[in-house]
Amino acid sequence: MALIEQVDVWLFRLLNLRLVHPAADDLMVFLTQSSLSGHILLLVALFVLIRGGKSGVLVIVLALLALGLSDFVASGVLKPLVQRVRPCFALDHVRLLVTQPRSFSFASSHAANSSAVATLLWIFFHRGVLVEKLFSVIMILYALLISFSRVYVGVHYPGDLLAGMVIGVSSASLIYLIYSWVLKNFLQPRLMRQGSSG
């Protein structure tokens, strides 16, 4: 564990202190603060509704469930359980670009939540027409940028992001599997019975 911790700190310093540029600072702050970039999620929801129609509402509901599950695991379970101090409070000479309350670091709920939403949207849109394939790829890249921004602004270790991404992908996959099971075992048989009786 000590070696893993050392590698995590080394990677943090590399990404937070060396692989930086003043021109990227504003972008990273924009990506990391939902108060600034929250309207992007409204545009995402609008795209889903336009492309999906009635089923778009279902996709949004499933994405919100995945987000809720990932946030609960990251913030409600792991943060109080692990109680890892954020790098901006544990290390010296950190480039801290945002105001950060003294909450715990592991795992990153930003990484978990953005990964959960992006994964769920990818599941539904990556096999569609070109614009939908492009949308799913953009959402994955957007989630990766949000995750990276948390190290860049000084509030998470890379290990926090990796754990958050695993939580997000797992949460979205679990929600989709539950939905598929309910659809196959309850909804589709009921619709078939109604169709045959009509």
What pLDDT is attached to residue 183? 87
Give whole-number Cα distances, 144 to 6, 46, 119, in Å.
23, 21, 11
Residue 16 domain flag: no
Residue 32 domain flag: no
Residue 22 domain flag: no
Domain coverage including residue 96: 39-191
Residue 1 domain flag: no
What pLDDT is attached to residue 2? 85
Residue 10 domain flag: no
Residue 71 domain flag: yes
Per-residue pLDDT of the chain (198 residues; tens, 9 = 90+): 789 999 999 999 999 999 999 999 999 999 998 877 778 989 999 999 999 888 999 999 999 999 999 999 999 999 999 999 999 999 999 999 998 878 999 999 999 999 999 999 999 999 989 999 999 999 999 999 999 999 999 999 999 999 999 999 999 999 999 999 998 888 777 767 666 655
**Is residue 50 exposed (0-12), middle (13-18) or buried (19+ Cβ within 10 Å)?**
exposed
CATH number at residue 155: 1.10.606.20
How far apart (Å, rounded) are the C-alpha atoms in residues 118 and 63?
8
What pLDDT is attached to residue 34? 81
User: How many distinct structural domains can be found in the chain?
Assistant: 1
Residue 30 domain flag: no
Residue 136 domain flag: yes
Q: Side chain identity at 4, as an amino acid letter?
A: I
